[in-house]
């Protein structure tokens, strides 16, 4: 059932600090169908908004493939029950235009009426905004976990009516018609995670990215979507693809390939040992350990007229099931002719969406529990690794250690002992000589004191701990 949830959810269709004076940061909350699987926590992103006088509060999904703000009316006909609906009779400032429109909701449509009312998000952002009040046929939406949608696409998608971002700029609430998104890789319910975030009117590169500047792509927004040219797609080597463009969409959970290109992707993954395709064209791969990402290459997109390279790691394009030790490939099939880069891609990159300039800027995001690896394959300091793994509790235990890359074959030949350094507490450490299935607990690790260089390489990084060579055990107190 999890895989069908993903499919339905997917069809749902550089300087530090904000550079613009009126950039306002807003926390983004994720809704999920279940807290049982992490993937359920990483699909639909929403914010709280208020509409009307007196205010009525709603949770609305962010959708960059939609431009309307819409909620459901309390007198909606033939509509599925929803937690919160808007009552126009209870708002002193609501005005109906009596104009009707059709809204796409998941794999169905709903009818609504265009109206205006005061809309505010956070404390200082209140504007009179056109929005759609759904009043008929809001049905078959079991995977819809909100009260409505806040459209962040261009106004062509809303028949020329200004979207919420444009209205904020017109009214002077923000300086630029732009917004930025950080989507957490770890889950917003996880303590100490960097929470998903939306900034209206600016961005914060220092807080949400490893990089110091954005790479900008020009958007072909004649259709209203955040669409850019697609030059090539690589998986180890170049793939023979047919699509010529990609659409960025926070309202899509997965990456979606065009029909022909999806077949090419499936064919490519079937060549990897342990990967197979089921009757529904889903690709499953054998992932018997948590650092499975080393067994598969990055998926690389070459975007824009210049063909700029953007990589997506296996950590993001796979869903790993710890119980079955299987990975599900999170690349689905699009009904259209282009690719859709949804949350799987957007969790990899901090994104800045500029409606004024028709550009989207991308920079590597600060990823929770994912090591920041250099593209050249060279090593980096253990201090950096520890910081990336959110190991503030053990920061300073070991410094100035130079690490080198080791292949799996080398590890098989060299059964070196390992020392596991927990990122949760400096008191939880294990020594494993690989001859025993039960690692020995050691009390603590002293600060690095003698050797400035480790000759042994880093073995692996796991989401809950860092594994380093056992020669560090000379600094352990048993």
Q: Catalytic positions, please?
A: 63, 249
Find out whether 337 and 260 touch, Cβ atoms under 8 Å. no
Name the residue among 296, 13, 282 with its Cα closest to residue 143: 13
Question: Residue by residue, what is the 3-state secondary structure of 414-433?
Answer: CCCCEEEEECCCCCCEEEEC
Find out whether 9 and 44 touch, Cβ atoms under 8 Å. yes
Give the whole-angstrom CA distance, residue 176 versus residue 166. Answer: 8
Using CA atoms, how far residue 85 sits from 71, 115, 309, in Å, is 7, 15, 44
* C-alpha distance across the termini of the chain, in Å: 48
- For residue 364, report the phi and psi dihedrals to the nearest 5 degrees: -50, 130
Give the whole-angstrom CA distance, residue 453 versus residue 267. Answer: 44
Helix, strand and coil percent figures for the chain, each rounded to 5: 15, 35, 45
Give the whole-angstrom CA distance, residue 203 versus residue 192. Answer: 21
Question: Residue by residue, what is the 3-state secondary structure of 21-83?
Answer: CCCEEEECEEECCCCCCHHHHCCEEEEEEEECCCCEEEEEEEECCCCCEEEEEEEEECCCCCC
Find out whether 341 and 249 touch, Cβ atoms under 8 Å. yes
Q: Which helix (H) or strand (E) holds 268?
A: helix 259-270
Residues ≥6 apart with Cβ < 8 Å to 300: 233, 234, 235, 309, 310, 311, 312
Q: Compute the CA torsion angle 201, 202, 208, 211 (nearest 10 deg).
A: 140
Beta bridge partners of 209: 365
SS3 98: strand
Q: Strand runs (DSSP E) across 425-464, as ranges?
A: 429-432, 440-442, 444-445, 460-461
Name the residue among 250, 289, 282 with its Cα closest to residue 266: 282
Give the whole-angstrom CA distance, residue 20 versus residue 7. Answer: 38
Using CA atoms, how far residue 199 sits from 38, 75, 405, 429, in Å, is 25, 34, 38, 39
DSSP state of 172: T
């Amino acid at each position: 059932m999890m895989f069908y949830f993903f499919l339905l959810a997917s069809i749902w269709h550089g300087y530090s600090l904000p550079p613009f004076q009126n950039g306002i940061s807003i926390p983004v909350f994720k809704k999920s169908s279940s807290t049982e699987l992490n993937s359920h926590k990483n699909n639909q992103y929403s914010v709280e908004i208020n509409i009307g006088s007196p205010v009525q509060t709603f949770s609305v999904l962010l959708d960059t493939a939609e431009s309307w703000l819409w909620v459901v009316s309390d007198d909606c006909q033939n509509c599925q029950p929803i937690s919160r609906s808007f009552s126009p009779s209870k708002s002193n400032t609501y005005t109906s235009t009596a104009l009707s429109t059709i809204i796409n909701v998941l794999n169905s449509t709903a009818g609504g009426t265009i109206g205006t009312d005061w809309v505010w998000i956070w404390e200082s952002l209140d504007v009179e905004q056109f929005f759609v009040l759904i009043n008929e046929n809001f049905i078959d939406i079991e995977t819809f976990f909100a009260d409505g949608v806040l459209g962040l696409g261009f106004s062509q998608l809303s028949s020329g009516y200004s979207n919420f971002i444009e209205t904020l700029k017109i009214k002077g609430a923000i300086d630029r018609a732009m917004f930025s998104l950080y989507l957490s890789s770890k889950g917003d319910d996880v303590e100490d995670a960097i929470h998903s975030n939306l900034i209206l009117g600016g961005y914060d590169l220092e807080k949400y990215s490893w990089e110091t500047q954005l790479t900008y792509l020009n958007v072909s927004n004649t259709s209203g979507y955040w669409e850019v040219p697609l030059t090539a797609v690589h998986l180890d080597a170049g793939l023979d693809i047919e699509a010529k463009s990609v659409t960025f969409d926070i309202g899509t959970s997965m990456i979606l390939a065009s029909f022909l290109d999806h077949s090419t992707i499936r064919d490519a993954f079937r060549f990897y040992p342990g990967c197979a395709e089921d009757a529904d064209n889903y690709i499953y791969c054998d992932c018997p350990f948590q650092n499975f990402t080393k067994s598969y290459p990055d998926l690389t997109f070459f975007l824009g007229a210049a063909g700029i390279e953007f990589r997506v790691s296996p950590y993001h394009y796979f869903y790993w099931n710890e119980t079955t030790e299987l990975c599900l490939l999170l690349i689905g099939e699009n009904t259209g002719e282009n690719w859709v880069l949804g949350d799987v891609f957007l969790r990899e990159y901090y994104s800045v969406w500029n409606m004024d300039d028709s550009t989207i800027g991308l920079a590597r995001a600060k990823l929770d529990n994912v090591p920041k690896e250099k593209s050249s394959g060279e090593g980096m300091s253990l201090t950096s690794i520890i910081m990336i793994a959110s190991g503030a509790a053990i920061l300073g235990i070991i410094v100035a250690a130079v690490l080198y890359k080791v292949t799996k074959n080398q590890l098989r030949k060299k059964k070196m002992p390992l020392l596991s350094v927990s990122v949760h507490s400096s008191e939880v450490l294990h020594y494993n000589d690989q001859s025993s299935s039960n690692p020995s607990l050691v009390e603590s690790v002293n600060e690095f004191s003698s050797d400035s260089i480790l000759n042994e390489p880093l073995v692996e990084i796991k989401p809950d701990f860092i594994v380093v060579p056992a020669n560090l055990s000379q600094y352990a107190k048993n």
